[in-house]
Structure formats: C-alpha cells, structure tokens
Amino acid sequence: MPLNYSKWDQLELSDDSDIEGHPNVDKRSLIRWKQRDIHEKREARKLRIAALQAEIACNDVLAPRLRRIRERLAGEANADETQTTEWAEDSEDVRTLSGLPLFQHLVERLQTSPSSAKPPTNAKDQVTYDGMVLSLLLQVYDETKALPSDEQEKAILSCLDRHISQLLEHTKKLEKELETEVREQKKHITSEDIKEGWENKVGCCARTRDLFVPGASDALLVAAFRAQMDGKAKYARQCVHQSLLLQYCDKLGKDGVRVFFEKMIGGDKRAIPVFEKDVEDTYVHVVTRANAAASSSEATHKEQIQLIPENPNATLSFNVPDGPPPDDLRLEGPGTEELNIEEVRRALTMRWQVFESFPEPLRVALKEGTLEAVNKVLGGMEVAEAEDVVSKLDMTGIMNFAEGGIRDETANVVEAAEAEGDGDGEGGGD
C-alpha cells in the first residue's frame, strides 16, 4: 500500500536555534515565551475567524431584509412576497401602504413590537435583527427629515440604496479577510488538526486478529452503554465506532479487514456514508436506551439490570415453552438423527421448570415477547435476583443471544457463575 505523507506538508520543524536569547535570560524561559506567543496568536486568529463568520452571517440576514424594505417603500414588492416574508402578519390596509406612510409604520412597529430574533452569539447585550434595522431606519430619517415630503421619499430610497451598497461592500471585504485568515490558519498543523486516520486502525487490526473474537463487538456496545450512563459521551461514541468496525470487517468475510479499510482509506463515497450513518444511528440508540435506563433508575433509586438490543432494527423474541415435553416426544427434521431423545426431554423439562419458577409478572412479560416488557420487570427486581433470572434465561435457551440479537449487560457475571458451577462439578467428581 503506497504511503501518503501529504498531510504533513505544512508541518513546521524547529530545533529552537532560531530563538536568540539574552545573556541574562535562560533559553528555557525564552522558549516558553515563544510558545505562549504562538498560542496567543493562534487563539486570537481563531477568535477573529469566529467573529468574521458571525458578522458575515448577520449581514446575510440584514441585506435581504433591507432590500425588501426598499422595494416596499418604492411600491415594487409583489403580492406573493408580502405574504411569505415579515409582512405576512400585516393587515390588508398596511399591505397597500408605500412611501413615507409605510416608512413611518415600519419604524413604529419595530419600536412597539420588535421580534426577539438575534444573531446566535454569547454577547450579553446582543442587539436583535429588528433593533439593527430600526437603528438604520432612524438614521435614514434623521438624514432626510428636514426635506419636504415630496422630496423626503426619494431621499429615503436613495439613503437606503447607499446603506445597502455599503453593507454589501463591507460583507465582501469581510469575506476576503476571512479567506485570508483561514488560509493562514491552514498553513500550520495544530493538535486540533491531527486526527487518527484509518491507516493506524488497519495496521492494528491486521496485527491483532484476537480482536475478532465472538462477543468482542457486543462487549464494546455494553461498554458504550455504561460509558453513556456515566456521562462519558465521547468514549461511548468511540466504543460504538469500534464495535461497528469489528462487525463490518467480520461480515465482509475472510478478507474483510482488507476490503473494509480499502474502502475507508480510498474514500469510497458509498461505503463511508453508510458506515458513518450506522455509527450515528447506533450511538443514538445507545443514548436513548441509556436515558431510559437512567430515568428508570432515578425513579426507583436503585441499580438495575437491563438487556440492551444490539441493533435497533432487530426483531427480538423469547423462546417461551408452552408446557412440559409430551410423553410421545418425537424429533423430526434434518440434524435430529444424532440427538439423544432423553437428553432433549431433560433439557425441555428443565426449561419448563425454570420458566414455571419465574414470578408471574416475568412469565407474562416473556409471553408478551417484547424487550421493553422484560426490562420493566427486571428493573423492579433486586440486582442479584435479576442477574439470576438473566443467567437462567441464557442457560435454558429461553433468551437466545445469536437469534434474538440481544446483548446482556450481565454477561460477565453469567460466565463467572457458569465457570464456578463447572468447578463445583469437577470437585464433586474427585
């Protein structure tokens, strides 16, 4: 695979030899001052870029409004525009106004019932768009109030034309300055620009095939759920991303790692959006389930055990027995020839006995067959009791992970319990 070093084209290297010191100041202090100066300039550039973007966005809102006002004053606005813009709430009488009467009406309306819409900034006393328009109209009025009425209307239109032209010219100047600042910013690589690429991941996956083991993807989704519950949203999203990465590589077959990363590194315009959307949808689902679990936990003020579906689109089901196996049990279908009918009978009997041992609400929820109903019952149990129920559901096959697409958060506890059970059995044999 050819190596691509283009992302380092703008990297600046320095051995600090360009820092000229003073005999009374140690070089370490000079380097720190130089670093601080670089960071301060970088931060100032970021703030300047943000300010330019905000001002341009504000002007993009004001310029069309001023043009529409100018057209209304001159009687050039069409009927459709007056019904779909800020004039939509005006009465029919007001819509017929133009010239100086309309100008006076606009000023009065902006003074008495202004809109609260304003630029999305954090400024404490941010002026609204209506406030800016009102300020300009009052300025135009001051410039033309000494003129006779017949000349005042023309003067108002002329002033508005001048201000609109100045606004557009100023916006173009801001756009050029923004372009210059952004170009200067891109000349230097910062820690914010460095992102871990797919090249690093493919190397890790190719060297560490132990990542592709059954349950690794589910374990990462469980970790994502727990991280989201703990408020670690960034880590939760990373876990979801890595989980789906493993899933995609696994589903693409024996050579899945190479195929997947070739598409990602090559910038496949179909594969990348699909993968990113899958990551986003799965993360949103994890957030939804975590929020639901948190709300339920806050309501009950206790720890709960919940089953989390791996795929939001999966069809979940529980294998609920209808009763004990019949006396004339028969095994039919391909693959049943080698099965011992008595062992099957014992397994079915145990499944029925375990199901019957469950409390009535849990049996009803299992028969209903929805994960929400089962989780609701599990949420009302003590943690130890719920873990025991989950273990029995898994052991008897009532809850099938592979077919049901379910991920159990208590998987580690269940495995430990089974291992302990195996250890007891071996001890008894001795």
Placement of tokens 């609920």 in the chain = 320
The CA distances from residue 110 to 85, 120, 142, 311, in Å, are: 15, 20, 17, 53
How far is residue 154's CA from residue 99's CA, in Å, rounded to a whole number?
Answer: 9
Residues in contact with 124: Cβ distance below 8 Å, sequence separation at least 6, in sequence order: none
Q: Which residues of the chain have pLDDT under 70?
A: 1-27, 77-98, 188-213, 267, 297-303, 309-317, 332-339, 400-430
How far is residue 406's CA from residue 319's CA, in Å, rounded to a whole number?
Answer: 13
Structurally, how many domains does the chain consist of? 3
How far is residue 406's CA from residue 369's CA, in Å, rounded to a whole number?
Answer: 13
Host H or E run for residue 40: helix 27-73
- Verify that 236 and 98 share a domain, yes or no: no
Token digits of residue 384? 């130890």
Q: Let me know if residue 311 belongs to a domain.
A: yes
Token digits of residue 109? 């309306």
Q: Let me know if residue 21 belongs to a domain.
A: no
- Verify that 204 and 288 share a domain, yes or no: yes
Placement of tokens 């089962």 in the chain = 374
Q: Let me know if residue 22 belongs to a domain.
A: no
- What pLDDT, on the 0 to 100 scale, is given for residue 413? 36
> Domain boundary at 253, 278, 300, which?
300
Q: What is the pLDDT of residues 31-53, one digit of tens each?
A: 777 778 878 888 888 888 888 88
| Number of residues that this document lists for the chain | 430
Q: What is the DSSP letter of 90?
A: S
How far is residue 423's CA from residue 425's CA, in Å, rounded to a whole number?
Answer: 5
Q: What is the pLDDT of residues 308-363, one digit of tens each?
A: 766 666 556 688 888 888 877 777 666 666 667 777 788 888 888 888 888 999 88
Token digits of residue 248? 């995609």
- Verify that 352 and 388 share a domain, yes or no: yes
DSSP-derived 3-state class of residue 407: strand
CATH code of 239's domain: 1.20.58.610
Q: What is the DSSP letter of 127?
A: P
- What pLDDT, on the 0 to 100 scale, is given for residue 173? 93
Exposure on the CB side of residue 115, measured as CA atoms within 13 A: 11
How far is residue 36's CA from residue 27's CA, in Å, rounded to a whole number?
Answer: 14
How far is residue 176's CA from residue 195's CA, in Å, rounded to a whole number?
Answer: 28
| CB 70 within 8 Å of CB 99 | no
Query: What is the per-residue burial (b if ≥16 Cβ within 10 Å, else e) of 375-390?
Result: bebbbbbeeeebbbbb
Q: Let me know if residue 359 belongs to a domain.
A: yes
Exposure on the CB side of residue 275, measured as CA atoms within 13 A: 21
Please provide the distance, in angstroms rounded to a whole number, between the alpha carbons at the two ends of the chain: 58
- Verify that 86 and 153 share a domain, yes or no: yes
| CB 70 within 8 Å of CB 87 | no
Token digits of residue 40? 């301060």
Q: Let me know if residue 7 belongs to a domain.
A: no
Q: Let me know if residue 263 belongs to a domain.
A: yes
> Which structural domain, as residue segments, surrounds residue 319?
307-330+339-424
Q: Let me know if residue 412 belongs to a domain.
A: yes
Mean pLDDT, the chain, whole residue set:
75
Q: Let me know if residue 148 belongs to a domain.
A: yes
Q: Which string of DSSP letters, residue by residue, matches 227-283? A: HHHTT-HHHHHHHHHHHHHHHHHHHT-TTHHHHHHHHHHTT-TTHHHHHHHHHHHHH
